[in-house]
Amino acid sequence: MMGRILLWLLAIALVSPAAAAVGERPLFSSPDVLRLTIKGPLSTIVRNRAEDPRPATLTVDGTTEQLPITLTTRGITRRASDICQFPPLKVRFTNPPADSPFSGQKSLKLVTHCKAAPAFQQYVLLEYAAYRMLNVLSPASFRVRLAQIDYVDDNGRSLGLRYGFFIEDLGDVARRNGMQEAKLPEIIPITALSTRHAALYALFQHMIANHDWSMRAGPKGEACCHNAKMIAPARGVAAAVIPIPYDFDFSGLVNAPYATPPDVLKIANVRQRLYRGYCAHNGEAYAVAVQMRSQRPQVYAALTSTPGLDPKTAARATQFLDSFFADIASNDILKAKVLKSCL
């Protein structure tokens, strides 16, 4: 086992080193909502969800420049036409100019609205808020940028103005934190994980009641990890990796109508919390809980300040978070209510 861990750490050291640390890209340096027009063969993309890229243009409102882009469908559940009327997209750029908010970007995930019904706008905004809440707790997290997007077909017909958000590229997350992307095998040992960050990962997922993840293994036949990306210290530094969660639409906080908990957990619905952190990290979990309690006002502010979020939606989400903070109100309560189910 020790030999496998050493080989695994060597694999981290051999990944290509990150470029020199860079500042935050302009796209993610502002909380302002972007107003965009994306024009292209959107009806074809909606009808045919193959992964072949389609040429399109992106225009930032208030400018005349059309950025050439390609659009590709992505995802698993939300890409299915029987789940979502509109699929999530990957947007690829070709050298955006220096004065563009997309300067420096090459490829970004775009979280879209799934369906046209107003409720689905709220699901998008709640998932966006989840990323923002994690940003409060750790810089080792994906930053996001909210946008109102007018989707225009190549024949000029608008398919509607909808909220969506872009997710920061993993390489930029790594560079912001003075690290690099970690290339991992299918399954990694618990000892390979940063104890502090793994405890934060698990408690954050517990806070939003998300169970659709693994910070140690990927889906069968795929590399690590499921709805988690890993960053690691620079080349030659043998240290634990940091798991970074993403994809929160199956969480109880969002409570999308298609979301179901994993069958193996035997819980009734996604609003029911079940802690899935590791017992080996319980010592750090107490420290993370202290941090979360101290930053509770900022966490709530990240939620309630979300543009476009309906006050009733925000109130329900706040009440949902209240129950989590009641369960971590003290070390004794945390142990009895949360950590008792550790793995």
The whole-number pLDDT of residue 185 equals 83
Retrieve residue 272's tokens.
């029911």
117: left (phi over 0), alpha (psi -120 to 50) or beta: beta
Retrieve residue 178's tokens.
């003075």
- What does the pLDDT look like over 141-158, one tens digit per residue? 999 999 999 999 999 999
Domain total of the chain? 2
Q: Is residue 80 part of a domain?
A: yes
Residue 6 has pLDDT above 90, yes or no: no
Q: Look over the chain and give the mean of its residue pLDDT values, rounded to a whole number.
A: 91
For residue 276, give Cα distances in angstroms to 201, 212, 215.
Answer: 10, 11, 10
Q: Which domain holds residue 243?
A: 179-341
Q: Kindly report whether the global pTM for this prediction surpasses the value 0.85.
A: yes
Domain end point (choices 135, 170, 205): 170
Write phi, then psi, for 93 (nearest 5 degrees): -110, 155
Residue 17 has pLDDT above 50, yes or no: no
Q: What value does the mean pLDDT take over residues 90-115? A: 96
3-state secondary structure of 48: coil
Residues 234, 326, single domain; the answer is yes
Q: Is residue 6 part of a domain?
A: no
The whole-number pLDDT of residue 12 equals 40
Query: CA–CA separation, 58 vs 32, rounded Å?
Result: 18
Q: Is residue 226 part of a domain?
A: yes
Query: CA–CA separation, 306 vs 243, rounded Å?
Result: 25
The whole-number pLDDT of residue 9 equals 43
Cβ atoms of 56 and 69 within 8 Å: the answer is yes
- What does the pLDDT look like over 274-330, one tens digit per residue? 999 999 999 999 999 999 999 999 999 999 999 999 999 999 999 999 999 999 999
Residues 110, 210, single domain; the answer is no
Choose between 183 and 228: higher pLDDT.
228
Query: CA–CA separation, 150 vs 160, rounded Å?
Result: 6
Choose between 63 and 326: higher pLDDT.
326
Query: CA–CA separation, 34 vs 32, rounded Å?
Result: 6
Query: CA–CA separation, 225 vs 243, rounded Å?
Result: 9
- For 133-156, b/e burial (b = at least 16 CB within 10 A) is bbbbbbebbbbbbbbbbbbbbeee
Query: CA–CA separation, 133 vs 324, rounded Å?
Result: 14
Residues 157, 39, single domain; the answer is yes
Residues 136, 59, single domain; the answer is yes
**Greatest CA separation for the chain:** 62
Task: Determine if the peptide bond prior to 225 is cis (ω within 30°).
Answer: yes
Q: What is the CATH number of the domain that holds 223?
A: 1.10.1070
Query: CA–CA separation, 336 vs 339, rounded Å?
Result: 7
Residue 7 has pLDDT above 60, yes or no: no
- What does the pLDDT look like over 207-234, one tens digit per residue? 999 999 999 998 877 788 999 999 998 7
Domain end point (choices 170, 188, 212): 170
Domain end point (choices 144, 170, 196): 170
HSE value, Cβ hemisphere, 13 Å, CA-based, for 201: 31
The whole-number pLDDT of residue 235 equals 66
Residues 159, 213, single domain; the answer is no
Task: Give the torsion sign (CA, 76, 165, 106, 68).
Answer: positive
Residues 75, 114, single domain; the answer is yes
Q: Is residue 8 part of a domain?
A: no
The whole-number pLDDT of residue 223 equals 81
Express as a percent the part of the chain with pLDDT over 90.
84
Q: Is residue 12 part of a domain?
A: no
pLDDT band at 159 (very low <50, low <70, confident <90, very high): very high
Task: Determine if the peptide bond prior to 279 is cis (ω within 30°).
Answer: no
Long-range contacts formed by 263-267: CB under 8 A, 24+ apart = 265/211, 267/211
Q: What value does the mean pLDDT take over residues 179-185? A: 88
- Of how many residues is the chain composed? 343
